[in-house]
């Protein structure tokens, strides 16, 4: 990637809160100008305002339903047109619709596949044209440890994340000759608003399953994204980087 960090452009989906918000913040701190999306206009604009105020970078923010092919592809195309380039794509948006397999409703399956898996393909497909034109780019997909471990009650979620890992390896082989790297990051148990709602006892039980003895922080995932997005990640492609404190080896 020939551009300096200060004029590189990164697009992050699902960036209004949680891991995606911190990924966007850390990329901004590293000097990237951003395009971010979330599902609700007010929350994604609040995130954009906070990032602009803290880092001084430019932030393009949109409400996007990533499960809709036209919406996510239009946002990727708008980003590339607005900035004149797209250097980094971070596919972070995701949902859960947990249920045991024999009771899982068709819509619970389809919503997770559309949001977590199909959206990643659609975003990557749209990003390929500007990245191939520039003969370089970084695609970073946020997977999950459960893609490797499995998890009861999350057949749909595990399938979506396993699909991300497979797509990552396949696309890396397909476009490596164009100077574009494609990697996935698989977080383990990360402390977010969702885990906080489980309560102290549940979080303690989760931490006991982790060799490092604690839940991860969104910053742990974001640090891996910043590394893979930067020059240090230039010879890494087709990999799934586990950020899980050792809970899966």
Any idea which residues carry the catalytic annotation?
Answer: 157
Contact of 61 with 16, CB cutoff 8 Å: no
User: What is d(CA 101, CA 49) in angstroms, rounded to the nearest whole number?
Assistant: 41
């Amino acid at each position: 990637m020939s551009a300096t960090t200060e004029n590189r452009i990164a697009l992050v989906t699902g960036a209004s809160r949680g891991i995606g918000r911190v990924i966007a913040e850390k990329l901004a701190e590293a000097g990237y100008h951003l395009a971010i999306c979330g599902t609700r206009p007010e929350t994604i604009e609040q995130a954009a305002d906070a990032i602009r105020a803290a880092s001084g970078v430019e932030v393009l923010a949109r409400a996007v339903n990533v499960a809709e092919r036209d919406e996510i592809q239009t946002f990727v195309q708008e980003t590339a047109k607005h900035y004149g380039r797209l250097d980094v794509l971070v596919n972070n948006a995701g949902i859960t619709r947990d249920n045991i397999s024999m009771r899982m409703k068709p819509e619970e399956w389809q919503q997770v596949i559309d949001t977590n898996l199909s959206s990643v393909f659609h975003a990557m497909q749209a990003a390929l044209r500007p990245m191939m034109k520039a003969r370089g780019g970084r695609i970073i997909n946020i997977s999950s440890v459960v893609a490797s471990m499995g998890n009861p009650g999350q057949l749909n979620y595990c399938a979506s994340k396993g699909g991300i890992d497979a797509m990552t390896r396949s696309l890396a082989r397909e476009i490596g000759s164009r100077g574009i790297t494609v990697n996935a990051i698989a977080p383990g148990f990360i402390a977010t608003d969702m885990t906080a709602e489980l309560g102290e006892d549940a979080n303690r039980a989760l931490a006991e399953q982790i060799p490092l003895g604690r839940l991860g922080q969104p910053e742990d995932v974001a640090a891996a994204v910043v590394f893979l997005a930067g020059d240090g990640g230039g010879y890494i492609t087709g990999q799934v980087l586990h950020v899980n404190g050792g809970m899966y080896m």
